Chain A
């Protein structure tokens, strides 16, 4: 279904669990090191300067060469990386980190607290896509050669998660101003980019870093990532053994399984409708809650999942994932498929004679079948949808610029706090028309400052509230499918579309 380039799709789907204390997981026993792993990927990375790492789908390219301060294990647990311990103060505004003292850059420069400070501040002040994740970082105080304090302007429940992402990649400060950093990474990572054999944008070759400080993270002598944008090209490559692992669409699953490949599933997004224009700026009809409810009732999500997505997904009606504290299975069936009810609601809202809605479409990213089906189903209850087609690269921009009242898209399901800040608060980027709601504001405040118990209750209430008010019309959580051959195993990364580089290992 999502045929090409998830790159611009949901970026920040982040890990589940927030481990707020400084517990550190035991490192796994010395793993077997395999020969060469060849990964087929959808889109290559941008520049190798960490501030240019846009979106989680490209993280593996950077993880091979850069280390972050913290690391998210496949299940989302936060584990030590360059920082060995982390501790919050009581009101969660000062985070104290202790760093490893045995890490060096390629030129012999030592990794220390000053380096970490320089990298964090550089990222925060850069044009990085996710620079805003460090917006609350007011000050970095170096308290020792290998220890530092991060002072936050206000608590951010997702801050530790951000420290596992591009926001905390550690590059050699000596290279910050060198434009070659774009193609010659300067990190401390488990692999070294082979400049000779790498063709930017199509094939990336990494060789094992023999001096790496944690050999248990290295599972291969060499990793090759081939960029194969086209689904069919990836399926061809998987079948012919040219790659060991790659994602493919649900439609190809049967063929690939028949060819002896193993399917690995991961649901990290929800797919469906987002009603941006809840104040009726562009389309007054959408200000009416009954119209939004009518639209949700009109969609036969079950048939869509079965026919178009070949059943590879789970129906849902809420924007929080199952692992979330806010999740309530009951809410998934709040608005069942019911065209009669839909027409009734529309009539009640005064649209018995139908209404028109303008929407954007992008067939490069989402199979046109979905758009045509949506058009069909809404047409059946009297809503005329007119689509304007955009290139993949401009679709999201058009939605975010507020040019359309509602949209069909694939939305990320990261941690609760991230979901709130992506979809619900007035500043959330997917709250395109910055709709404010006093009830929501109060609940969000409770989540941020209320402590664990208040937070849990507030999350439940918040989820219930946005569903009752039909802010969103989720259809289902699609399974992202990764196919591996018999010698390769992969652990999917919780909340991330693309598995981390550490998650691959050889099967003997």
Chain B
């Protein structure tokens, strides 16, 4: 059946908030209104029209609309309006039977199978597969051969066919929450298994089930109409499908007969689909919101203004070395939010990185340091843009370059080492292929050359068995290895400048030092410039020549590492340093610089 797109990804969510969100969506409200209207028509309609839906009046055969028959008469002289209303009643009842059957079987089965894995889970999952391998309409046709043309039985059987969609949904949701704390807690507190399932789990699966219900209803209505249209349904009761069947046989004389039942099906089902998608959007939005709040802390924090003249002055006073390659001048980065408001996350930032120089950009999460780094590569996430300032590189302003020209600079001139190694490798391609592609595209190497060079690079970055790693998929290597691979990828096309975004922060402490060593070695070997984004003064002390301290989108202080570490001018720098030192052995460099300081 077309349904079985169980929305397993939906996270649990309470009922109330779903309703509140849907209530705010005009399209969803309209759909809901339409559904209520159709339901009312089905329930009350028959009492409002004076005609019996089966009353054949020989004088009204295919009669045009009139005061007596508002929609006219059908092929047997029956009142179309009356038939349409009764048809709505029967069609909806039929759909409800299918829905109810599917719901009862699927939800109970799913709850049990999800909560108690074991033989029941095995058997019911196998049965589910069995049912899902059967084309529903053919089963219904065969069933009809056995039990006769009863719409009620057909819809009951169809309910069984549809049950797997609920079963799978509920089973996987229950699976997901089974081991969660609150269920365990409930167990400990001595609540019986039965009420655990029904009190906790049911609350969790409620919203996704409601969404699935409207999709299942759509399928039930469509299949029922299809069967009746084929003429294999129960012709004694009016339904949308049987009306279509009758109208189709008279399509040449009265094609308008197709319109009413067709429109009822289309309207009802569209309303259900729109409602379902509105509910799904609402669910996803609530889930997405909490996720993006976590992710976009950076931009959000930029709202607060910080003005400190001294800071600004110090920023401007950055001296620009002559050998400088990358020069960021008065950079300002901003994001559009959904409401169209612009939030500036990087304010008037200026610094430079010379060839062969390692510059640290340090700050807390959300200080704008990563945004600054991305700006240099023009790789800001969607919504972000450089609204002012320049990124000068070899006499050109990268901020004003076309995307095409920018592609010519990335990789071969300025390269990037990301923070999170695993998520930065495409899981679907081998490591080798991901290394080779830039070599072939950017440097025009042949397959064989690209392969040889990739293997060399892997060897160079300290991968023990380059061949095996070359053929491996990203999920087959460790995080440290992945970071080495990404560094290999970054230097593969001989860039002059590396932008490394927290290259060690997600690695094990034991690996961190090795990776930093590797970076330093490569930097010296190739005379690279490095812009190192970090939140750790340890890293800065370890590798950087100069450092700029960022806070809330601004550079509050910068200068040679020794100077900053020895005599931090800004309070923020001092607090950063203090936080780092708390409860730890002082870094050697710090103590060294302290000594050196006395010499000066």
* A–B contact (CB under 8 angstroms): yes
- A: which residues have CB within 8 A of B? 3-4, 230-232, 235, 249, 251-252, 254-255, 300, 303-304, 306-308, 361, 363-364, 367-369, 372-373, 375-376, 387, 389-391, 394
Min Cβ gap B574→A in Å is 87
Verify A307–B249 contact, CB threshold 8 A. no
A-B contact pairs, 8 of them (CB 8 A): A252-B252, A255-B252, A307-B77, A363-B231, A369-B56, A373-B76, A391-B148, A391-B149
User: Which of B54, B76, B78 has the most chain A CB within a 10 Å cutoff?
Assistant: B76
Determine whether the beta carbon of B75 is less than 8 Å from that of A232.
Answer: no
Scan residues 10-39 of chain B and give those whose CB is less than 8 A from a CB of chain A. none
B46-86 interface with A by 8 A CB criterion: 54-59, 61, 75-78
B251 CB within 8 Å of chain A:
yes
B226 to chain A minimum Cβ distance, whole angstroms, is 14
Residues in B with CB closer than 8 Å to A389 are 148-149, 234-236
CB neighbours of B58 from chain A (8 A): 300, 303-304, 306-308, 373
Q: Does residue B253 face the partner (Cβ distance < 8 Å to A)?
A: yes
In the docked arrangement, what's the CA distance between A504 and B253, Å?
29
Residues of B within 8 A of A361 (CB): 235-236
A367 to B62, CA, bound (A): 14
Cβ A373 vs Cβ B56 within 8 A: yes
Complex Cα–Cα for A367 and B236 (A): 11
Q: A363-B236, A368-B236, A372-B54 are in contact. Are A307 and B59 (CB under 8 A)?
A: yes
Query: Quick one: closest B residue to A363, CB to CB?
Result: B235
Q: Does B175 contact A (CB under 8 A)?
A: no
| A-B contacts besides A373-B58, A387-B236, A389-B148, 13 pairs, CB < 8 Å | A4-B231, A251-B249, A254-B253, A255-B252, A363-B231, A368-B236, A369-B77, A369-B78, A372-B78, A375-B54, A389-B234, A391-B144, A394-B148
Bound-complex Cα distance A275 to B246 (A): 29
**Interface SS majority for chain A:** helix
Q: Determine whether the beta carbon of A367 is less than 8 Å from that of B76.
A: yes
B55 (CB) vs chain A CBs: closest residue: A376
For A376, give its contact among B56, B232, B246, B253 (CB under 8 Å). B56
Bound state CA distance, A183 and B256, in angstroms?
43
Measured as residues with beta carbon below 8 angstroms from the partner, the interface class of chain B is 20 to 34
Would B236 and A232 count as touching, CB distance under 8 A?
no
Name B230-248 residues within 8 Å CB distance of A: 231-232, 234-236, 246, 248
| Closest residue on chain A to residue B149 by CB atoms | A391
Alpha-carbon separation in the docked complex, A171 to B151 (Å): 45
> Is A249's CB under 8 angstroms from B76's CB?
no
Q: What's the least CB distance linking A442 to chain B, in Å?
A: 42
- Chain A nearest CB from B252 CB (Å) reads 4
Residues of A within 8 A of B148 (CB): 389-391, 394
Give chain B residues whose Cβ lies under 8 Å from the Cβ of A249: 249
Chain B: minimal CB distance from A366 (Å): 10
Considering the complex of A and B, which 8 residue pairs feature the smallest CB-CB distances, nearest first? A369-B76, A363-B235, A255-B252, A307-B58, A372-B56, A373-B56, A389-B236, A303-B58
Given contacts A304-B58, A391-B148, contact A364 B235 (CB under 8 A): yes
Instruction: Please give, as numbers and ranges, the residues of chain B lying within 8 Å of A232 by CB-CB distance.
Output: 248-249, 251-252
B453 proximal to A (CB < 8 A): no
* Residue of A230, A361, A387 most packed against chain B (CB within 10 A): A230
Q: How far is the CB of A28 from the nearest CB of chain B, in Å? A: 37
Instruction: Please give me the residue from chain A that is nearest to B237 by CB atom.
Output: A389
A371 to nearest B CB, angstroms?
8
Contact B76 A308 (CB under 8 A): yes
B467 proximal to A (CB < 8 A):
no
Is B475's CB within 8 Å of the partner chain A?
A: no
Q: Is B410 an interface residue (CB 8 A)?
A: no
Closest to B76 in A: A369
- Cα distance A389–B232 in the bound complex, in angstroms: 11
Which residue from B54, B76, B144, B252 sits with its C-beta under 8 Å from A235? B252
Residues in chain B near residue A372, CB distance under 8 A: 54-56, 76, 78
Is the pair B235, A368 in contact by a Cβ cutoff of 8 Å? yes
Q: Can you name the residue of chain B whose Cβ is closest to the Cβ of A375?
A: B54
What residues of B have a CB within 8 angstroms of the CB of A235 in the complex?
A: 251-252
B residues 198-249 touching A (CB-CB < 8 Å): 231-232, 234-236, 246, 248-249
Q: What separation, in Å, do the CA atoms of A391 and B227 have in the docked complex?
A: 13
Q: How far is the CA of A389 from the CA of B248 in the complex (A)?
A: 21
Q: Find B253's partner among A255, A306, A363 (CB 8 Å cutoff).
A: A255
A487 to chain B, nearest CB (A): 22
User: Which residues in B have their C-beta under 8 angstroms from that of A376?
Assistant: 55-57
CB distance from A242 to the nearest CB of B (A): 15
Q: Assess the B253–A251 pair: CB atoms within 8 A.
A: yes
Cβ contact within 8 Å between A3 and B56: no
Q: CB distance A251 to B75 under 8 Å?
A: yes
Q: Contact string, B111-148, partner A, CB cutoff 8 A, digits 1/0?
A: 00000000000000000000000000000000011001
Q: When the two chains form their complex, are residues A3 and B235 in contact, meaning their CB atoms are under 8 A apart?
A: no
A372 to B232 alpha-carbon distance, docked (Å): 19
> A443: shortest Cβ distance to chain B, in Å?
37
Bound Cα distance A369, B60 (Å): 12
Of chain B, the residue at the smallest CB distance from A391 is B149
Query: B62's closest neighbor in chain A, by CB?
Result: A251
How many angstroms from the CA of A4 to the CA of B75 in the assembled complex? Answer: 16
- The answer to whether A231 and B76 touch across the interface, beta carbons within 8 angstroms, is no
Residues in chain B near residue A307, CB distance under 8 A: 58-59, 61, 77
B250 at the interface (CB under 8 A from A): yes
For residue A369, which residues in chain B have a CB less than 8 angstroms away from its CB? Answer: 56, 61, 75-78
B145 proximity list for chain A (CB < 8 A): 391
- Report Cα–Cα, A4/B54, bound state, in Å: 22
Contact (Cβ within 8 A) A251 B77:
no
Query: Considering residues A249, A304, A387, A389, which has the most beta carbons from chain B within 10 angstroms of its beta carbon?
Result: A389
Complex contacts, A300 vs chain B, CB 8 Å: 58
In the assembled complex, the CB of B255 is this many whole angstroms from the nearest CB of chain A, namely 11
Q: CA–CA, A230 to B78, complex, Å?
A: 23
List the A residue with the shortest CB-CB distance to B233: A363
User: CB-nearest residue of chain B relative to A392?
Assistant: B231
Min distance, Cβ A127 to any Cβ of chain B, angstroms:
21
| Contact of A368 (CB < 8 Å), options: B55, B57, B76 | B76
List of B residues within 8 angstroms of A308 by Cβ: 58, 61, 76
Tell me the smallest distance from the CB of A238 to a CB of chain B, in Å.
Answer: 10
B206 CB → nearest A CB, Å: 40
Give the distance to chain B from A235, nearest Cβ to Cβ, in Å: 6
* B-side contacts of A367, CB under 8 Å: 75-76
User: Hey, which chain A residues are within 8 Å of B54, CB to CB?
Assistant: 372, 375
CA distance A363 to B231 in the complex (A): 8
How many whole Å from A206's CB to the nearest CB in chain B? 29
CA distance A231 to B252 in the complex (A): 11
Q: Are A231 and B236 in contact (CB under 8 A)?
A: no
Measured CA separation A308–B75 after assembly (Å): 8
Roughly how many angstroms separate A79 CA and B235 CA in the complex, as a whole number?
A: 45
A251 touches B235 (CB 8 A): no
A251 to B251, CA, bound (A): 10
**Contact between A252 and B253, CB atoms less than 8 A apart:** yes
Chain B residues positioned under 8 Å from A390 (CB to CB): 148-149
In the bound assembly, the distance between CA atoms of A252 and B249 in angstroms comes to: 9
Q: Which of A254, A304, A369 has the most CB of B within 10 A?
A: A369
**Max chain B Cβ within 10 angstroms of own Cβ: one of A307, A375, A394:** A307
How distant is B337 from chain A, measured CB to nearest CB, in Å?
56
Name the B residues within 8 Å of A231 (CB-CB).
249
Q: Residues of A contacting B231 with CB < 8 Å?
A: 4, 363-364
Question: Which among A300, A368, A387 has the highest number of chain B CB atoms within 10 Å?
Answer: A368
Q: Which residues of A contact B234 (CB under 8 A)?
A: 389
Contacts of A375 in B (CB 8 A): 54, 56
Chain B residues with CB below 8 A from A251, complex form: 75, 249-250, 253
How distant is the Cα of A4 from the Cα of B248 in the complex, in angstroms? 13
Q: Which residue of B lies closest to A231 (CB)?
A: B249
What residue of chain A has the Cβ atom nearest to residue B252's Cβ?
A255
CB of B249 within 8 A of CB of A3, answer yes
Please report the C-alpha to C-alpha distance between residue A252 and residue B252 in the assembled complex, in whole angstroms.
Answer: 7
Which A residues touch B75, using CB under 8 A? 251, 367, 369
Q: How far is the CA of A314 from the CA of B57 in the complex (A)?
A: 21
Bound: A58/B76 CA distance, A: 30
